[in-house]
Amino acid sequence: MLYNYIKIAIRTIQRDKFFSIINILGLAIGMATSLVIYQYVSFEKSFDGYHKLSDQIFRIRVEGQTYAGEMQFQSARCYPIVGPTVKERFPEVEEYARVFPWKMILSQQDDKIGKREFNEDKMCFVDPSFLDLFDVKIVSAHGETLLEEPNTFLISERMAEKYFGETDPVGKTLLVNGTDPVEVEGVFENIPENSHLQYDFLTAYQTLGGGHFENSWGWNNVFVYLKIQENADIEKLEASFPTMIDEYKGDYFEATQYREDLYLQPLKSIHLNSNFQDEARVNGNGKTVKYLGMISIFVLLLAWINYVNLTTAKSIQRAKEVGVRKTTGASRSSLIAQFLMEAFFMNLIAIALALSLVQLFVPLFNAFAEMNIPFDLWTNVQFWLLLTGVLFTGSLLSGIYPALVLSGFDPIRVLKGSFTKSKEGQGIRKLLVVFQFASTVVLVIGTAVIFYQIEYMRNKDLGIDLEQTLIIKGTNIYEGDSVGGEALLEQKINLFNQHLQSSPAIENVSVSEYIPSVSPHGWGGYIRRSGADLAEARAYQLQEIDHNYLDLYGIDLVGGRNFNQDKITDNRKLLINESAMRNLGFTTSEEAIGAFVIFPFVGQNDEEGEVIGVMKNWHQKSLHDEVSPIIFSYNPSQFSYVSVKINTKALNEDVQMIEETWQSVFAGVPFDYFFADDSFNQQYKSDQQFGKIVLLFSVLSIFIAILGLAGLSVFNCAQRIKEIGIRKTLGAPIFHLIYILSSEVLLLVGLAAIIGIPISYFAFDSWLAEFAFAASVSHWVYVLPVLGILLVSILIIGIQTVKTALGNPVDSLRYE
């Protein structure tokens, strides 16, 4: 019996190759799409899951808000003293590990090629316990105890090859910032991409030297991870934190009417559900992953609906076959089994084709979406179980309704042909066509909305000028290394500026602590206008700049003046933006100019700084975020970033000239640069990736829908060819015949558009709500995609209907 089912299924597929190809191709594209999205979603959800203790590891983060509930900051980092404190106080906490990310210049003296220097920004100071909490696979090491002595570190295999080639690096020495020797204690395997912490160097935390790195309750620049006992009550533990922090800072909280609280984050939830200040890297978006997962299901459903529509549409052609088999004794169950077997074979062939398509197109998908998703599921048992589930679920869902329809034919009605007139035989098919095109409308409109918002963000006036601005990563190599080190650095900066500005290609040069798109790690808290109560203190972004920064970035002053390098007293002056002005309680720039602000200068107790200028608000970060309150102080020797404004289009020659000048002034400091606009737009990379992915799958869903529409159109025309012949014989015009053949399907597509537009509006309005600055989406963004789908539908239907309408009626009526 089974052999007979298989043989008939194969014959049916071979007999009508056109419909078989449409069915298999539609199923294959839908399955391939779902597999690619599944791989992406699996990768995003796999972050940090490879650690054996991942379910027991939590990160502590800190939030600050006023007693009135006004949020001041939400940071992914915490105070360094919290780790030791919670381990001592709470038995549920078995261990802690602190991580302090940093950047450095590493240099090496090579006998063959001389001294080499590199900027390295994937370095972390960590406690020795870090190796116990996280799975860092040591390849080779100096001993069993690692990272317990200052000035020792571990390096990744990638860095071992970069600095030492084939030579064993263990025991070798490198120089940090040109002066401090550090010993390589061991080598670890490269950290996988699905880790929210990315590092190539692990350095002993003791190297930092204690002080506020160990005991501070106010300096929150450290990631603190806890290993918590299995089955511990996390909510109960977290509820104990306010009492603990009140013991150390409660008096200050009462005086300032402001408090800070600690919260636990599961390690595996960080990548998709954490978007706080000072994150270790740009994290993913849990909502995006959920949306894409839903899209994959919808695309697969569209493919299965295609199969159902085409199979039920062709049911009339197999009605006599069913009638004959029933009259010869075939049971309904045997007919259902036969048609389910055909659906199984269709899905099996489609899955095989889908796997081939995935292997072929994943590299193209990665290039298009600017992603690096490996398709490495072949050894994943869960993947094969899912694939098996898709095969049997797809066979059942796509086969059961056609099987029930076909097996339920009444032989007498079939032989009379009365089923062809039954509305009941077409109702489900019409409903499925509406669902299919409504889903396509939602995807296409969603794609339009996403790209509309992306273009809005890219073109909106940021209040700053990022064009033709080259950024060089600086260093603090000279600061504090010797007596007069900061003065030496300032001299070199001035020399570099003079050399560059003597060139007509250079418009301006500035040094600063941060640049647009880079926010400070941690905010300055407890800042208030002089004479105000502590309860009025707020948190602000604090940055150090020089006197050229505002001019270079085109930041406008609404009142007051800029910093002046000739005024020695400007090192205690302040510039504030409009947002900071309002937070400080000033209503106008005139009121703010000359006022004093209690401002914590670096390395000193609270002092008063005078406001000398108010800047017009600009966007330091992307349009995802509100404009932050920013306070600038003056430091012409701040050397974290060097911004160079270029006023020619010969960028290659200009960059070469800048590099030569850099190397002549800052010998030993690598020339590591990027462009400001690229850095700023990088903040929208995840949005662009999301838009490209939705665009790609919208196109595929349209293609699947068109395949089905083409099949339905061919079938409808074939079913009504005699009717068309009679109408032509009686003088019906061509346009009337085209209307008769296409009106019903186009009506269904129009109904789908009416359903899809409001769904799209509400679905993507919630997506836009994630942006502090969202575009006001034009109604044309909703209308034009629908018109496009309607036009494509008309074109597909029109080709076949025109061909049928123009046919010779003699050919269709010769047997009547």
Residue at 208: amino acid letter:
L
Q: What percent of the chain has pLDDT over 70?
A: 87
The answer to whether residue 131 scores a pLDDT higher than 90 is yes
d(CA 212, CA 206): 12
Going through 517-605 in order, the beta strands assigned E by DSSP cover 524-529, 538-545, 557-560, 573-577, 596-600
Copy the structure tokens of residue 149.
């002595």
Q: Pseudo-torsion of CA 58, 215, 250, 262, nearest 10°? A: -10
In tens, the pLDDT along 110-125 reads: 666 667 888 888 999 9
Q: What is the pLDDT of residue 783?
A: 86
Strand partners, 101: 124
Identify which of 590, 588, 557, 587 has the alpha carbon closest to the alpha carbon of residue 575: 557
Q: What is the pLDDT of residue 315?
A: 61
Q: Pseudo-torsion of CA 539, 545, 551, 557, nearest 10°? A: 30
Token look-up 């941060």 returns 514
**Secondary structure (3-state) at 432:** helix
Please give the average per-residue pLDDT across 131-143, as a whole number: 91
| Whether this model's pTM surpasses 0.85 | no
Q: What is the pLDDT of residue 707?
A: 76
Q: What is the pLDDT of residue 602?
A: 40
60 Cβ contact list (under 8 Å, min separation 6): 78, 82, 83, 86, 224, 225, 226, 262, 263, 264, 265
Cα-Cα end-to-end distance for the chain: 39
Token look-up 């009504």 returns 720
d(CA 470, CA 15): 65
By DSSP bridging, strand 201-204 and strand 114-126 are parallel
Q: Highest-confidence range of 181-195, 334-348, 426-440, by mean pLDDT?
A: 181-195
Token look-up 């790195």 returns 213
Q: Highest-confidence range of 368-372, 386-390, 728-732, by mean pLDDT?
A: 386-390
For residue 791, count other CB atoms closer than 10 A to its CB. 11
Copy the structure tokens of residue 527.
């800042």
d(CA 687, CA 133): 33
In tens, the pLDDT along 497-526 reads: 888 988 889 999 999 989 998 877 656 667
